[in-house]
A and B are shown apart, each in its own frame.
Chain A
Amino acid sequence: MVRYAYYPGCVAEGSGREYEMANRAVAARLGLELVEIEDWNCCGATPGHNTGHLLGLALPARNLALTSDMGLDVVAPCAACYNRLVTAQREIACDPELQVLMGRLLGRDYRGDRRVLSMPEAVAAVGAERMKALTVRPLEGLTVACYYGCLLVRPPAVIRGDDPEDPRLLDDLLRGVGATTVDWAHKTECCGAAQALPHEEVVLCRVRRILEAAVTSRADCIATACPLCHANLDQRQARVNRRFGTDYRMPVLYFTQLLGLAFGLNPGELGLGLHFVPTAELVRKIA
């Protein structure tokens, strides 16, 4: 059993519920114990750092400070939360003045320790062998366009993970359970993120490009690891069709949902009935 301090993020019980369900189910199967950080607060996501630098660091920092007694690395499944937590950790760790400021802002001591992992990283750490051993229903015949989005890979100086121009982590994980992944050019092309409400036209244009590219690359579905990307690609797909007169019916799944299917978990417990773009046909194809 590998234990992690778990930072669910604000949409885990809301618009990102199926991601949370899939993460929990898959984690259990993988032997990952996700210990929720007690009394965690919103990391601020994009509005935080867009409004104030210190605010943008302190909101995530409080959560990292809360883990000080846990002695565990942190896993944050939402890409935005992950990005903010890593950014806060890195910036505070190398700036003693910031550490002093954090003390004042948080009323707690936080000096920039604590390793933060994204959900793909935590899953990958389990190892390819174990993943293969758990695969009872390989995703053979399924073609997936892995969509990483922005905050899992950028800015490269901070995130220092996958190559922002050609990331491979999700592709490797899904191929490890038998899926075919496509080599497409839109892996990290921004979906428009938090502009969905304020400037929807940005999101609709970007989502359209991504969907078009997924279709052209002959993917059966898009796999993602970010609830905001998911919302834009899934919930707003109908709006894209209305706006541009297109007819996209591209299922958008969380990567842990796909892993869960490969591990033999049932679609219900993976939240596959909660999508806007129906996934039933896809699930039947795999089963």
Chain B
Amino acid sequence: MDVLVLSGRGQEFANRVSLESGQPVQQCYQCGKCTAGCPAASSMDYAPHQVLHLVQLGLEEEVLSCRAIWVCASCYTCTARCPCRIEVARIMDILRARARRKGLHRGQRAALFADLFLDSVRRHGRLHELELGARWGLRTGQPWREADLAAGLVARRKLRLRPPRIRGVEEVRRIFREAARLEEGEHG
């Protein structure tokens, strides 16, 4: 455990996260109620209240490369319970977006899942579950891991074999394009 030098980091990172999320990050007094109710906390490297503390201290590298923000299940329990009315789940969203912009999402399974999910949506306008499952299996090098479930779904005709198609798929692709451009323009 290295000694952490707190001074000299400035308020910029905390301010930027506060601004982007619209949440008063500095107000958090680390009561830990978010952590106590978090379904994914036991799998996290930093507990949710610690993630906020990292932001407060300006420890940008640490917080954006942590595992916690990717294990988060977006269940909003933290937001619902925070006594300071901080929307913790929203801050998690912002941290994920910032991590992506810095390329720190690579290697994170949840980021890969989101990418494959959204790829499918961009391609068809709707999610093609089979495609998501198959690509997931290939990309994670564990194609047989979900095989039993997949087989069960196929047997029950609960896995559409052909991809969905919508007429407005170009509109959906436009959303992806424009959203990316706008985010790029705003946050660089």
| A/B contact in complex, CB under 8 angstroms | yes
Whether the Cβ atoms of B114 and A17 lie closer than 8 Å is no
Size range of the chain A interface in the assembly? 35 or more
B interface majority secondary structure: helix
In B92-125, the 8 Å CB interface with A consists of: 93-94, 96-97, 100, 109-110, 112-115, 117-118, 121, 125
Answer whether residue B138 sits at the interface, using C-beta atoms and an 8 A cutoff.
no
Residue among A15, A44, A51, A276 with most chain B CB within 10 A: A51
Whether the Cβ atoms of B80 and A47 lie closer than 8 Å is no
Given contacts A105-B174, A205-B42, contact A155 B179 (CB under 8 A): no
- Which residues of chain B are near A235, meaning CB under 8 Å? 149, 152-153
C-beta contact mask, A85-117 vs B, less than 8 Å → 1, else 0?
Answer: 000000000000000010011110000000000
Given contacts A10-B129, A50-B93, A52-B97, contact A105 B74 (CB under 8 A): no
Answer whether residue A193 sits at the interface, using C-beta atoms and an 8 A cutoff.
yes
Given contacts A10-B164, A14-B160, contact A49 B93 (CB under 8 A): yes
Whether the Cβ atoms of A52 and B179 lie closer than 8 Å is yes
Whether the Cβ atoms of A190 and B77 lie closer than 8 Å is yes
Whether the Cβ atoms of B93 and A58 lie closer than 8 Å is no
Whether the Cβ atoms of A47 and B176 lie closer than 8 Å is no
Q: How many residues of B contact A (CB 8 A)?
A: 60
- A18, A105, A164, A190: the one within 8 Å of B73 (CB): A190
Whether the Cβ atoms of B71 and A155 lie closer than 8 Å is no
Whether the Cβ atoms of A104 and B114 lie closer than 8 Å is no
* Distance from B34 Cβ to chain A, minimum over Cβ atoms (Å): 12
- Which residues of chain A are near B125, meaning CB under 8 Å? 39, 41-42
Whether the Cβ atoms of B175 and A193 lie closer than 8 Å is no
In B19-42, the 8 Å CB interface with A consists of: 39-40, 42
Answer whether residue A284 sits at the interface, using C-beta atoms and an 8 A cutoff.
no
Given contacts A51-B114, A54-B183, A59-B175, contact A198 B73 (CB under 8 A): no
Whether the Cβ atoms of B118 and A198 lie closer than 8 Å is no
Answer whether residue B61 sits at the interface, using C-beta atoms and an 8 A cutoff.
no
Whether the Cβ atoms of B180 and A52 lie closer than 8 Å is yes
Whether the Cβ atoms of B166 and A51 lie closer than 8 Å is no
Residue among B74, B125, B176 with most chain A CB within 10 A: B74
* Distance from B43 Cβ to chain A, minimum over Cβ atoms (Å): 5
Answer whether residue B46 sits at the interface, using C-beta atoms and an 8 A cutoff.
no
Whether the Cβ atoms of A189 and B39 lie closer than 8 Å is yes
* Distance from A49 Cβ to chain B, minimum over Cβ atoms (Å): 6
- Which residues of chain A are near B70, meaning CB under 8 Å? 198
In B145-167, the 8 Å CB interface with A consists of: 146, 149, 152-153, 156-160, 164, 166-167
- Which residues of chain A are near B59, meaning CB under 8 Å? none
Whether the Cβ atoms of A105 and B182 lie closer than 8 Å is yes
Whether the Cβ atoms of A50 and B158 lie closer than 8 Å is no
- Besides A40-B166, A41-B166, A276-B152, 6 more A-B contacts (Cβ < 8 Å) are A14-B130, A14-B160, A17-B158, A39-B166, A50-B114, A51-B97
Chain A residues with a Cβ under 8 A of chain B: 10-11, 13-18, 39-42, 44-56, 58-59, 62, 101, 104-107, 150-151, 154-156, 164, 188-195, 197-199, 201-202, 205-206, 235-236, 273-274, 276
Which 8 pairs of residues, A with B, have the shortest CB-CB distance?
A: A47-B114, A190-B75, A154-B76, A198-B109, A10-B127, A190-B39, A150-B75, A55-B179
9 pairs, CB–CB < 8 Å, chain A vs chain B:
A10-B127, A41-B171, A47-B118, A48-B118, A54-B183, A154-B79, A193-B75, A201-B43, A274-B158
